[in-house]
Amino acid sequence: GEDVEQSLFLSVREGDSSVINCTYTDSSSTYLYWYKQEPGAGLQLLTYIFSNMDMKQDQRLTVLLNKKDKHLSLRIADTQTGDSAIYFCAESLNDYKLSFGAGTTVTVRA
Amino acid sequence: DAGVTQSPTHLIKTRGQQVTLRCSPKSGHDTVSWYQQALGQGPQFIFQYYEEEERQRGNFPDRFSGHQFPNYSSELNVNALLLGDSALYLCASSLATAEAFFGQGTRLTVV
C-alpha cells in the first residue's frame, strides 16, 4: 500500500456524513476502488470509479475523483452504526493487480 | 451464488511446515488473485492466475506458489513457513472487468 495513502482513523456521529480521503501516486491508474472490511471478515466491494470520471453516486455513497491532485474521497450520507468498519482505498493500473492503502477505521458514535 | 469461498477459515502451522490454501471463485469468474493481509495493514498482492497460468506476481519470495485448475479454482502454497507469514490470506475473483470480489479469507497463524 505504499502508493496509496489514507488517514488512519475517523470518528463520526450517527446520522452525520462521513468523508474518507485517499491519495494515490500513479497517474496511470485506470480504476479506483473503495472496499469495506468488518472485523474478522473479508473485503466487500462498495464502489469503484473509472479514471475518466469525476464523480459516481450509488445510494448513500458518493465517490469524488480529482485526477489533477490524485485525490479520491468517499462520502457516506446518513452514517449508521453498521457503517463502522475499516475502509480501504485501492488503485489498479490494469485489471490485474490492486494496490491498497492501509485502511481508515471509521467509528460511528451515537 | 455462493460468491468466493475459501478454505480453511483458520489454520495453525509450525515454522518450517508447508501449507495449502484453497479458493473457489464466484460462479462464472475465470481469474483468481491472492493477497496477504498482515494485522493492521492493507492487503498486499501475491499473484494472479488466469487460464491456469500465473499472469502477474507481486513482491513475494518463491516460497509462495500457486495453481489454478480447469474449473478456475485455485490453491496457494507456502513452503518453509516463517513467523512473519502469519496473516489473513484473501482470494479475489473477477471476469475481465474492474470488479474483484473477495472471499472471507483464511487466517494463518505460524507458531
> pLDDT for B2-48, tens place per residue?
799 999 999 999 999 999 999 999 999 999 999 999 999 999 999 99
> What contacts 24+ positions apart, CB below 8 Å, involve A47-50?
A47/A74, A48/B98, A48/B99, A50/B98
Averaged pLDDT for residues B72-95: 97
3-state secondary structure of A82: helix
Averaged pLDDT for residues A40-45: 90
Does A95 have pLDDT greater than 70?
no
**Cβ within 8 Å of B, A 70-89:** 88
Percent of chain B exceeding pLDDT 90 equals 91
Contact B97 A95 (CB under 8 A): yes
Residue B12: its pLDDT value, please? 98
Residue B1: its pLDDT value, please? 66
Other residues' Cβ atoms within 10 Å of the Cβ of residue B44: 20
Residue of A nearest to B10 (CA): A40
DSSP B50: E
Q: How many Cα atoms within 13 Å fall on the side-chain side of residue B29? A: 28
Nearest-by-Cβ selection for A31 from B45, B92, B98: B98
For residue A42, the distance in angstroms to the closest alpha carbon of chain B comes to 4
**Cβ within 8 Å of B, A 16-55:** 30-31, 33, 35, 41-45, 48, 50
Does A5 have pLDDT greater than 50?
yes
Alpha-carbon torsion angle B4, A21, A98, B35, nearest 10: -60
Return the C-alpha cell found at A98: 490492486
Contact A45 B44 (CB under 8 A): no
Nearest-by-Cβ selection for A1 from B42, B56, B92: B42
3-state secondary structure of A91: strand
Dist. CA B6–CA B8, nearest whole Å: 6
Dist. CA B104–CA B40, nearest whole Å: 16
Does A16 have pLDDT greater than 50?
yes
Dist. CA A107–CA B11, nearest whole Å: 30
3-state secondary structure of B30: coil
